[in-house]
Structures are given as structure tokens and as C-alpha cells.
Chains A and B, each alone.
Chain A
């Protein structure tokens, strides 16, 4: 069975600091990879996704993620965080072509201090 791990439960950064949130998955075959974000009081929304092609994908609000197949990783990065990036971030993997095949990581809570 697939599983997704996220390295940090809670990350605290100051504004303008660089961000990297780790995500590793366990599955030997082809996967589709996602990062979702949940801002305080809001619904989960898609930040970015990787299906194929360039392993460096860019998402909304200046986020990017790099798929490293050999490391089974899909880390999320942002060069300079803002207070408004405070949220919970979820990595997800889908090894099939249907929504019921999604497996989510436990989430990383990011707190950005002004």
C-alpha cells in the first residue's frame, strides 16, 4: 500500500526566510504528486501537481516543488515566505487514475512570523 510521510509536523519561520517542506512516498510505480494547502478557516486547495515531464513544477503564490524519482520525494519550496503563507500543507500521492486512489500525508503546519 502507498504511504506518504512529511518530515516536519510544525515549521516556524520569519518572513522572507526560505521554505522547504519535505515529502516522501512509498510506491514503486508511476505516481502523480500533489501539494494541497489549507489556510486558516478556508478549504483545502490545490497548490501544485506533477503528472509527468519537467520534474520541477511551479504552482500558485510562488511555490514550486521538485520530483526526485530516485529519492521518492516531492519537496515543496518557496524562496521567501510571507505571513500570508501561514497554513497547513499536505502532500498527496495518487498511483491510479481515480480520485479514490489519493493518499495524503499527515500535513505540515507552517507558521510565518511577521
Chain B
């Protein structure tokens, strides 16, 4: 069966520091991968998605970037964190036309 791993679960970083959140999927090949940010009372906002290695689409211009160095690995990064980057970040995957997103456990990021 397929599983998705996301780490770390929580992270506290100072303003201006770099960020790297990692997500990996097991048990499937060539998944579509997504990064979402969940804000209280505002649902989930799609940040990035990827349909293949090295292919990244950005939905919202911001201080973050994403990369997909391997088929089942998706990384969310920042060179310099801002206070406004604090939030709950979720990784998800699906297969084309399956229309069922599968989410990781999320990372709670606090920028101080």
C-alpha cells in the first residue's frame, strides 16, 4: 500500500533562516505531488504541484520554492524565512485522474 512521509512534524526557525521540508511517497510510481498551506479558518491553499521529476508549478508567488529531485520526493524550501511563512504545511499525492488526494501528517512551522 502507498504511504506518504513528511518531516519534520514541527519546526521553529528564526526569521531569515533557511527552510527545507521533505516529503516522500512509497508504494507508487510517478505520483503527482503537492504542497499545501493550511491556515486556520481559511482551508487549504495550494502552493506548488509537480507532475514529474524537475517539473514544478507554482500557484502562489511567495518566499517559498519547491523541488522534485526524485520521482517520489518533494521538497519545500526557502532561502530566508519571513514571519508570514509560519503555518501548517501539508504534502499530498495522487495519480492522474484518480481525484483522491492523499495527505501527509503535516509540518507545523513557526518563524520567530
Contact = CB atoms under 8 A, between A and B. Distances in A.
Given A106-B42, A107-B41, A107-B43, A99 B101 contact: yes
Contacts, number: 56
Interface residues of B, number: 23
Nearest to B93: A99
Nearest to A94: B99
B74 interface: no
Interface in B56-99: 57, 59, 90, 92, 94, 96-97, 99
Contact of B100 (A46, A90, A98, A106): A46
Given A9-B41, A44-B90, 9 more contacts: A34-B100, A36-B101, A43-B106, A44-B101, A49-B99, A49-B100, A51-B99, A105-B43, A106-B43
Interface of A: 4, 9, 32, 34, 36, 42-46, 49, 51, 90, 94, 97-100, 102, 104-107
